[in-house]
Amino acid sequence: MRTYKYQIREHPQILRLGNLLDDLADVHNHFLALEKRYYRIYGKYAGRYRLQPHLTKLLQRTHPHWAWIPRDTLDAVIIRIHIGYERFFDWIKKGRRGRRVGPPKFKKRSKYRSAKFQTGYAIFEEREDGKPSKVPQGTVRLSFKEWDADKQKFVFVRRNILYHHHRDWNGIVSYVQILRDSVGTFWLYVVTNDISKEVKPATGESVGADFGLEIYLTLSTGEKKQHPQPLKQSLNHLRKLNKAVSRKKKGSGNYWRAVRELARTYRKIADQRKDFQWKLATDLCARFDLIATETLNLEVMKRLWGRKVSDLAFYQFVEILKFKCFKHNREFFQVGLWTPTTKPCSDCGFHNENLSLSDRQWTCPDCGAHHDRDVNAAINILRGCLDPLVE
């Protein structure tokens, strides 16, 4: 599946989207409390197949005000709770090893972010008969229910939501999702079944890449890439914004304006980081047929260097690079976590056990080759991925 992201335009209809997410937060909290109560009484997990029939009864009796939301969107909330508990139980079965996974939690209305539309939507799609689409480009039509006083029942109404259609998507649309970020901006996610590739011409070149804190990426060709570190560059501005928030009366209009300005700054930092990483990944895929990187122990690195590791976002870059390699038909490899790459000499293989973290340049005592620490590691990373005998 491939996801395309579009910003929803500011217009009165987005008030309906805000009400939708607020009601879905109530649905989430209600069924999460029901799940916990069921476990407390019966000692077992209820699951989506018990909760979904119960939702039908709630819509008929005690919670008819939820009926204006499409049923598949309500079911998606229960499925999300179900998947959250399954992941938590799997982590427990594995002996609590690996990345910690917690059970689903209660959410405030302002913290509930997204709504999934599996069927209750219509969006622009090119028709096979050549006729124009029923929905114009830049519009998504969502189906809700409204109370009809004359008919004394809920009837379906269609509301058009406008968005910035800055690029076309490929494939058949599987579902759409509405997301509200911390700034209050609404986004449309279009999920398609597209698995097509944009194959770039072969170059016959391979490269190894070594990550670092001072030099973000060192290539086996000797080239070094510096990270802009947008969080570090914005620390003074963030301190001022946090002080501004602390001076406001909590809950006032000025308080929420200051909070949104702070959230807007964090969003800008994240966008700057992603922009750098996407451009770097595109550049590597354009120049090399095979890209090899190391596997980092990020949990330990965060305990040692904390904020800087989060600012550099190694894991995010690796995920972006994986996708770009798939898209452009490049090969991507990672050496094992415990594969020695820093201390071995890339010329003769001698292990320099006396090499310390402060040694950025060193000479091999066996063959006399002079090495840049990071370039030597990048060469060993590439060799470790190409040579099946290297563990």
Given a contact cutoff of 8 angstroms between Cβ atoms, the answer to whether 305 and 213 are in contact is yes
For 51, other C-beta atoms within 10 Å of its C-beta total 22
**In the numeric block, which tokens belong to residue 113?**
């972010």
| Distance between CA atoms of residues 328 and 326, nearest Å | 6
Q: Which SS3 state, helix, strand or coil, does residue 123 take?
A: strand
CA distances to 51, 101, 107 from 89, rounded to whole Å, are: 18, 9, 21
Exposure string for 356-368, b = 16+ CB within 10 A, e = fewer: eeeeeebebeeee
| Distance between CA atoms of residues 69 and 54, nearest Å | 16
For 259, other C-beta atoms within 10 Å of its C-beta total 19
366 is catalytic: no
Annotated catalytic residue within 23, 289, 294, 311: 294
Annotated catalytic residue within 23, 35, 210, 311: 210
Annotated catalytic residue within 35, 289, 311, 374: 374
Beta bridge partners of 154: 147
- Residues, the chain: 391
Given a contact cutoff of 8 angstroms between Cβ atoms, the answer to whether 176 and 190 are in contact is yes
**Residue written as token pair 């095979």:** 290
All residues at 6 or more sequence positions from 334 whose CB lies less than 8 Å from its CB, including other chains: 292, 293, 294, 295, 318, 385
**In the numeric block, which tokens belong to residue 61?**
């009796």
374 is catalytic: yes
Strand locations in the chain (E): 2-7, 114-117, 121-123, 139-148, 153-162, 173-180, 186-192, 206-211, 217-219, 224-225, 290-293, 331-334, 361-363, 370-372
What does the angle CA 267 – CA 271 – CA 276 come to, to the nearest 5 degrees? 155
For 249, other C-beta atoms within 10 Å of its C-beta total 8
Q: What are the residue numbers of the active site? A: 210, 294, 374
